[in-house]
Structure 1
Amino acid sequence: MSSTTVKSASRAALPPEIQLLILELLSSDGCSLAQFATVSRQWQTIIERRNFERINLTLWRIPDFGHMTRRNRALVKYIWLSLELSEYDCFTCGARNMNRNGNLLPNRCGADECIIVTAMRDLFLTLSAWEPQGDLKLDISIHSPSDSQHWFKYLTFGPDTLPHSQVTPSQRVDPEHGWNAGILSSAPTELALRNVFAEVLGRPGAIFFNKELECEWWQTLPEVPAVTSMLLRLQNRRRWRPSTLTYMLSRLPRLEEFHYEPWRAWSKGGQNVTDLAYCSLIDSLTSRTLKKLVLFENFDEQYSSCFAHCDDMRAPNFWVGQAVAKASLELEHLSASFIIDAGHFLDAVKSEWNWSHLSSLTLTSQLLNPQENPDRINNMLEAAASTALKMPKLKTLEIWNGRVGLAALLRYQLEGIGRTVLSWKATWKFALQPHVIKAWEAVAHANHSHLLVQEFLDETISVNSHADAINYLELFKVLRPISLQQILAAHEMRREGPLAERRWRHTT
């Protein structure tokens, strides 16, 4: 008997749970498991499931993707398409004065658009051949390697998993870009911010110089019924136009989940145009098979100070709130943070509306702040209870707010048979009025449940960003966990040093 046969027989003699532990240890050690697939048929099955469950794709790997997964398509549950755009230098980022107010180089722009168009075409052509087999999540990211090499050294890019790699201190010594002794002591240029927040496929002179041409191009792509979930995470600082997303999503006829984490626009005019386009995008979702919609419009209160005509916090648009309210009628789960205001959502509700499927609803409201009239807050929370009566399957409703210096949350939670909790948690004093509690008692009674009211106050907690508020309020489903980690990491790096925040705001 050969030594290989003896070793294989020895492994086969091990209990299955021990073999699994061995594989776990090998995997956690960063070891490639492919070489162990020949040990046994059981190991091959386990290793193939691990190797094919999550696929990372680049532009250059797409042509081989179909052949690579032909035998194991049913094992693929998650595809991360990571597109790297062209690198750029300090003239483009605005660190050198001769180009602080200049434009991006046209040839680089054209090359970047070719990368995106080619990748989307090749990916959709490849995936169109896949038969629907359970859930398949498509995660798309676009960035330039240079983004984290100039002003934004705290940016990280990776798949939708935790933990995530962090920036080392040695990378944070770059006085030309404001990094001194590991501390960001000066703000990035407006050009640097506009560069990383540029539109995808939306620049003047681009391949799609008008929406009609772009719409025609998307319609040439085949439908992809295998994809059931789409992720566009906030590490995509480059902005997809909502109209582009409308065309893209139209090619995914079985989409059940959409996680969309755009950044706010950095001017009032730009935000008005974006909000108008949001309405069309959200309206396009109402006739879909969508069950879960998670919207999280990210922002950075420090970035806004770098732009000449930008408010610290943008004002939500009523019509976007109305569009989201209408789209929610057929959903099972909705979370919409900062992109709309809960007050607008509630004001848009019509008397004949009913949410026959909705089990969870999470919204933000700028009314939840210590400077607001308490009566207005209580009236809004009472209106939320009236709307909740139209949601017979509702188990959780949350209305919250968070930014530098404040966090607040009203949560209605059905915790089991006969028990429902209405809780108020905040960093400032506020009292729920009796008429509000009575309104929520009616909701609990409709669910054959008793209402327990709880209030939590912590005026000492430090809230340095909306991410801190999310942690404090335990709202871990309003955005992807890796996205929350990225916000926290960026703010932590910029807070290092006692004067970092103040310097940041006064050096533009």
Structure 2
Amino acid sequence: MTRRNRTLVKYIWLSLELDEYDCSKCGGHDLRHISKTDNCVIITAMHDLFLTLSTWGPQGDLKLDISIHSPSDSQHWFKYLTFGPDTLPHSQATLGQRDDPEHAWIAGKPSSAPTDAALRHVFAEVLGEPYNAFYDIEQESKWWQTLPEVPAITSVLLRLQNRRRWRPNTLTQMLSRLPRLEEFHYEPWRAWSTNDQTVTDQGYCSLFDSLAPRKLRRLILFENFDEQYSSCFARCDNMRVPDHLVGQAITKASLELEHLSASFIIDVEHFLCAVKSGWNWPHLTSLTLTSQLLSGQQLPIRINDMLEAAASTALKMPKLKTMEIWNGKVGSAALFRYQLKGNDCAVLTWKATWKFTLQPRLIKAWEAVAQANTNGTYFVVREFLDEKITINSHADAINFLELSEVLRPTSLQQILAAHEMRLEGMPQGLGLARTQPTAIHKKPSFSGRYWSKAVRYYTKIVERYLQIPRSHDEVIHMGPQYMARLREAGYDADLIIADSTPIR
């Protein structure tokens, strides 16, 4: 279809639809949230996509947007979820019935938070247990290396409508097949337990370390969260504390960037502490970071000290035009912004829902930044305070603070729509059943020939990369979880134990 006008294609949306599910699985204790069929579709789709796009030569900019969901996600506990491509002005909602007591929806509004089991279902791990096709990370890496490189792709989007979680190690391998990648826009959700977050942060360190030698120009990171969801889990802090090691990895990866925005995934203090002597950012024009100090509950001297330290680091950025440090949550929003306007004006702005005074020494430090980057600049300080505005979520804070590049506009709209529906209820005009999907959202009816090909390929991958340990001791130490996985894959696990020979 695009053979003769391929240069006109600027955006590709890969929409992966998982199996639909009923109420027996939407919030129960069945951990098999992603089935064999789902993994077959995912692996085959990624293979076909990379194989096809590898024949496209580099011709300008080409954006790849990858999404994964089940059409049933918005039919049970999460009726406010919306899903669509990045190009539409409004997300396409697939809404369920207004009254659904079984899922705590009364008169179009949720009467309670979802269960932890329901949340685990929609936040399941992609290519994870128990139907993983790969024995371990090394085997998965070997599979990714069999896929051809795709030089045509220059930008990747992974938006927050992806509640299913791609492991950072998987993303590291995926991005390694894109040699001309210039922009990575990543909007993951936070993990919902301390242990999961620790494992995820370790994966983040590897992911961002792998980006450091790449020729990226733009890196936009936004770790999404929902303060209602965190209250559903016993071992989940209301607001998670960023890991300083992740901050170090992102700081190092930013040295050759033109634009960095990292919201909630790291803290500005970790960025500042990671800076080493001799480091500089020769190309960076825009930097946006979040700070947990900007909560309205910290001592003003700590905030002034942090913002003054940011000015010292800004002196290492000769092309800097904008630096933003912000924070937002229910009931609170704050922004510190330094911005060069034209060649002769620098503006220092404080905007918040709570009182704070920029100290003279802080203003002087940022005047030095402006003087270092321009000639003959005059300096303006602006302060805005609105203690009466209602902030229902971090998305409201983003709107109030007029932040333009911390996440995709479609993603911002989805957060706002979800909170509005939970507070105000589902619109009266929307009926008892699912709305008729538009053509772009119709689930494709794959032919028997396609499924036959997909199953053959998936079976080949499982046979090759779900390798069986040769050591008797190694098999025993893997425990019952691994033995169950072998049985699911069609192996006689008891026979494997009997036949395996101890290492001598």
TM range, smaller chain: 0.7 to 0.9
* Residues 1:88 and 2:21 aligned together: yes
Q: CA deviation at 1:124?
A: 0.1
In structure 1, which of residues 374, 383, 399 is the aligned counterpart of residue 309 of structure 2?
383
Q: CA deviation at 1:103?
A: 2.5
Task: Give the corresponding residue for 1:441.
Answer: 367
Aligned pairs for 1:292-441 (under 5 A) are 292-441=218-367
Deviations 1:24-58 (A, max 9, x none): xxxxxxxxxxxxxxxxxxxxxxxxxxxxxxxxxxx
CA contact (8 A) 2:74 2:94 kept: no
- Report the residue type matching 1:237 in the other structure: R
Instruction: Provide the rounded CA distance (Å) in 1 between the counterparts of 2:90 and 2:112.
Output: 26
Instruction: Provide the rounded CA distance (Å) in 1 between the counterparts of 2:289 and 2:160.
Output: 18
Instruction: Provide the rounded CA distance (Å) in 2 between the counterparts of 1:422 and 1:175.
Output: 51
Q: CA deviation at 1:165?
A: 4.2
160-169 vs 366-375, which deviates more? 160-169
CA RMSD of aligned residues (A): 1.2
Instruction: Provide the rounded CA distance (Å) in 2 between the counterparts of 1:101 and 1:445.
Output: 61
* Residues 1:178 and 2:101 aligned together: no
> The residue matched to 1:88 in structure 2 has which SS?
coil
CA contact (8 A) 1:169 1:182 kept: no
Q: CA deviation at 1:251?
A: 0.1
Deviations 1:215-255 (A, max 9, x none): 00000000000000000000000000000000000000000
The change in CA–CA distance for 1:170 and 1:258 in structure 2 (over 3 A counts) is closer
> The residue matched to 2:198 in structure 1 has which SS?
helix
CA contact (8 A) 2:333 2:401 kept: yes
CA contact (8 A) 2:75 2:96 kept: no
* Residues 1:143 and 2:69 aligned together: yes
Q: CA deviation at 1:190?
A: 1.2
Task: Give the corresponding residue for 1:224.
Answer: 150
> The residue matched to 2:83 in structure 1 has which SS?
coil
CA contact (8 A) 2:83 2:92 kept: no
The change in CA–CA distance for 1:170 and 1:224 in structure 2 (over 3 A counts) is closer
* Residues 1:103 and 2:31 aligned together: yes
In structure 1, runs of 5+ residues without a counterpart are: 1-67, 95-99, 498-508
CA contact (8 A) 2:331 2:391 kept: yes
CA contact (8 A) 1:409 1:473 kept: yes
CA contact (8 A) 2:220 2:406 kept: yes
Q: Percent identity?
A: 75
Task: Give the corresponding residue for 1:463.
Answer: 391
Instruction: Provide the rounded CA distance (Å) in 1 between the counterparts of 2:305 and 2:89.
Output: 42
Deviations 1:359-397 (A, max 9, x none): 000000001111111111110000000000000000000
Instruction: Provide the rounded CA distance (Å) in 1 between the counterparts of 2:236 and 2:362.
Output: 36
CA contact (8 A) 2:349 2:382 kept: yes
Instruction: Provide the rounded CA distance (Å) in 2 between the counterparts of 1:420 and 1:161.
Output: 34
Deviations 1:384-413 (A, max 9, x none): 000000000000000000000100000000
Deviations 1:422-472 (A, max 9, x none): 000000000111111110010011122222111000000000100000000
CA contact (8 A) 2:39 2:131 kept: no
Instruction: Provide the rounded CA distance (Å) in 2 between the counterparts of 1:89 and 1:363.
Output: 41
Task: Give the corresponding residue for 2:482.
Answer: none
Q: CA deviation at 1:418?
A: 1.1
Deviations 1:71-129 (A, max 9, x none): 221111000000100011111112xxxxx333336xx6111111100000000000000
CA contact (8 A) 1:226 1:254 kept: yes
* Residues 1:213 and 2:146 aligned together: no
- The size of the alignment, in residue pairs, is 423
CA contact (8 A) 1:87 1:144 kept: yes
CA contact (8 A) 2:188 2:223 kept: yes
Structure 1 length-normalised TM? 0.82
CA contact (8 A) 1:93 1:189 kept: no
Runs of 4+ aligned structure 1 residues displaced above 2 Å come to 100-105, 165-173
> The residue matched to 1:86 in structure 2 has which SS?
coil
CA contact (8 A) 1:412 1:420 kept: yes
Q: CA deviation at 1:167?
A: 4.3
In structure 1, which of residues 84, 105, 115 is the aligned counterpart of residue 41 of structure 2?
115
CA contact (8 A) 1:233 1:480 kept: yes
* Residues 1:74 and 2:2 aligned together: no
Instruction: Provide the rounded CA distance (Å) in 1 between the counterparts of 2:97 and 2:337.
Output: 42
Instruction: Provide the rounded CA distance (Å) in 2 between the counterparts of 1:193 and 1:386.
Output: 43
CA contact (8 A) 1:162 1:481 kept: no
Instruction: Provide the rounded CA distance (Å) in 1 between the counterparts of 2:95 and 2:21.
Output: 23
Aligned pairs for 1:272-311 (under 5 A) are 272-311=198-237
Task: Give the corresponding residue for 1:43.
Answer: none
Task: Give the corresponding residue for 2:490.
Answer: none
- Report the residue type matching 1:290 in the other structure: L
- Report the residue type matching 2:407 in the other structure: L
Q: CA deviation at 1:172?
A: 2.6
Task: Give the corresponding residue for 1:57.
Answer: none
- Report the residue type matching 2:422 in the other structure: R
Instruction: Provide the rounded CA distance (Å) in 1 between the counterparts of 2:67 and 2:155.
Output: 15
Structure 2 length-normalised TM? 0.82
Instruction: Provide the rounded CA distance (Å) in 2 between the counterparts of 1:169 and 1:275.
Output: 34
Deviations 1:299-353 (A, max 9, x none): 0000001111111100011011111111110000000000000011001111210
258-267 vs 200-209, which deviates more? 200-209
Instruction: Provide the rounded CA distance (Å) in 1 between the counterparts of 2:258 and 2:94.
Output: 42
Instruction: Provide the rounded CA distance (Å) in 2 between the counterparts of 1:375 and 1:190.
Output: 40
Q: CA deviation at 1:267?
A: 0.5
CA contact (8 A) 1:407 1:463 kept: yes
Task: Give the corresponding residue for 1:494.
Answer: 422
Instruction: Provide the rounded CA distance (Å) in 2 between the counterparts of 1:301 and 1:101.
Output: 23
CA contact (8 A) 2:284 2:320 kept: yes
